[in-house]
A and B are shown apart, each in its own frame.
Chain A
Amino acid sequence: MNPIEVKNLTKKFGKKDNIEIALNNINFTVKTGEIHGLLGPNGAGKTTITNILSGILLPTSGTAKILGKDVIKNSIEIRKNIGVCFGGSRFYYPLTCQENLKFHARLHGMKNPELDKRINELAEELAFKSFINKKFADCSKGMRQKIALAKSLLHKPKILLMDEPTIGLDVEVSMIIRNTLKKLSKQGTTILLTTHYLSEIEELCKNITMINKGKVIVKGKISDVKKKLKFSDNISFTTNQKIDFISKIKGIKSWKDLNGEVIIHTNSPEKLIVPLIKQLEKRKIKFNDLQINPATLEEVVLKIMKE
């Protein structure tokens, strides 16, 4: 049993004559202790999935299971075991950060002194002790997001649903959040991470599910996803000389010369690089900055968005 299992999940909004399909037969699973990246462009349906898994949105059809239990039938039990953090989270503005956290902790059945102890622990861990008694209204975006993360961790959940947790945050706060997620994952917490920051996905996740217009485009290991979408690594170098001859070199899929910056696409850059250098030297071509560039997730997403 995987801690998160989504099967044929469909969500439609609107009425008969104006139906919008937000999710169309979505399937994916997340393994224990894994940080699974859910990505796609704006409006792809990522937040809708997070909302359904957290029990605040009901699906039109299909099933979503957390820890083997249906999110609709066992809604209360599941919410005891999940922590949810939304980007740009809001809490009660007139209350202090501590008062807000206390409210949510009590709704999770936590009592004093356990409650105060846990809030203090999180304040140390996420570095918000200095503003714990500040009104939420007076907190900066970064401070607010730390509180949102703390809220999701109050009850030590087994599953974390993170919807754009670092959106619009500075480097320091983003790093604290990323490090916390890494640490929790090592401790066995299963995390579903939705983000626009592809570097974040590449840093934290092994497996991803990429969706667009409510459909799964591709899923699996990041390296496999790049292969599936035929995104090859490339070799690049700069030169001022003509290099038309390189199309004759075996193993080159395609190449282009962008005003002196040459980019060569190949399936095996490591094998190609030696013959390429030999040919360049043989023809006395001066070149600089020769390097192998792995295909980035960014390119993959851009390609999907264009399609």
Chain B
Amino acid sequence: MLNKIYAYLERNIRMIRSAPGEIFQITIWPLIGLLSIGLLGNFVVGTGASTNTIGFIILGVLIWNFFSVSARSMFVGFMYDVWDECLKHHFTNPVRTRDFLLGNGIFALTSSIIGFILVGLLSIYLFNFNVFSIGFYLIPGLFIVLLHGLADGLIVNSLILRKGYGYHSLGWAIPGFVMIFSGVYYPINTLPEIMQKIAFFLPSSHAIEGLRGIIGLSNAGISEFYIGIPLAIIYFSISAWIFKTSITKAKHNGFITKY
């Protein structure tokens, strides 16, 4: 099994190496997000807002980048086969769904962490905000976001397998929708009531609120993780099951042979 996981890691690294644009997804885009939102924060503080506002927003941006990269890595790990129309070939090999999930999941974790560390260090230099001061609690917080991101990627992959290639644009759209409900740039309690109810069922919203609470940027605390962790595990388990059944369905209706 380890050899198969290594196969996916090696493939993804080689794909990134051969397409420099892919490196942008992990590094440049998160950096642009940090700069644009961080500078907006500076402006808002300049108009009289609390100095905590910058930390509040930047933490949201950093966690959001982590989510986006993990979701995208899982999504793209599947799309490599779809884009080059070699999914059919891929599944003539003795691979199980778990090999695919672990291989792409570990790749997603690695690339998300690289992006997070890079942008986290820059945020210290540029905006004097140290996300690493959260310490140990970054681990459960990022764990929630990782699982939520992977689940997001798997759901889009499943939709492509079940409904067709036209659904691939959701790979970029769904994280945007989730962001609105996760309180990336504002506290959850400022959302309309119906949106707050939806936010409650999103693991990422608990991770962001919890991490903010730990460094005194909100009233929430680690209790958020007690809801976020089981939710993230449920999300990931269900999405992995949906992905597995989508592959089986695609083998029934012949969709898998189209890619």
A-to-B contact residues, CB < 8 Å: 13, 51, 54-58, 76-77, 79-80, 82, 84, 86, 89-95, 99, 102-104, 106-111, 135, 148, 151
Contacts and interface: CB of A to CB of B under 8 A. Distances in A.
Given A56-B251, A107-B4, A151 B84 contact: no
B4 A13 contact: no
Given A89-B89, A90-B86, A109-B4, A95 B14 contact: yes
Contact of A95 (B3, B15, B85, B88): B15
Contacts of B189: none
A252 to B, nearest CB: 50
B162 to A, nearest CB: 14
A135 B91 CA distance: 22
B96 interface: yes
A92 B251 contact: no
Interface in B1-39: 3-4, 6-7, 10-11, 14-15, 18-19
A82 B6 contact: no
Main secondary structure on chain B at its contact with chain A? helix
A43 B132 CA distance: 61
Interface in B105-125: none
Given A58-B251, A92-B11, A76 B84 contact: no
Contacts of B248: 58
20 contacts: A56-B251, A56-B257, A57-B254, A80-B94, A84-B89, A84-B92, A86-B88, A91-B86, A91-B89, A92-B11, A92-B15, A93-B84, A95-B14, A95-B15, A95-B18, A102-B7, A106-B7, A107-B93, A108-B94, A109-B94
A151 B89 contact: yes
B93 A57 contact: no
B10 A54 contact: no
Interface residues of B, number: 31
B251 A57 contact: yes
Contact of B11 (A76, A77, A93, A95): A95
A110 B93 CA distance: 12
Interface string B109-150: 000000000000000000000000000000000000000000
B15 A55 contact: no
Interface string B41-57: 00000000000000000
Given A76-B96, A80-B94, A94-B15, 4 more contacts: A13-B253, A13-B254, A92-B86, A109-B4
Given A90-B89, A106-B3, A76 B94 contact: yes
A55 B91 contact: yes
Contacts of A106: 3-4, 6-7, 10
A54 B86 contact: no
Contact of A109 (B3, B86, B90, B253): B3
Contacts of B251: 55-58
A80 B96 CA distance: 12
Nearest to A110: B3
Nearest to A84: B92
B257 A57 contact: yes
Contact of A102 (B10, B80, B86): B10
Contacts of B84: 90-93
A103 B84 CA distance: 15
Nearest to A148: B89
A54 B256 CA distance: 12
Given A94-B19, A106-B3, A86 B94 contact: no
Given A56-B256, A95-B15, A107-B7, A79 B94 contact: yes
> Which 10 pairs between the two chains have the least Cβ-Cβ distance?
A106-B7, A94-B18, A107-B93, A79-B94, A84-B92, A58-B251, A90-B85, A80-B94, A90-B86, A76-B94
B95 interface: yes
A92 B252 contact: no
A13 B18 CA distance: 39
Nearest to B86: A90
Interface string B73-103: 0000000100011101111111110010000
B224 to A, nearest CB: 40
Nearest to B9: A106
A274 B39 CA distance: 101
Contacts of A90: 84-86, 89
A102 B94 CA distance: 15
A15 to B, nearest CB: 9
Contacts of B93: 79, 104, 107-108
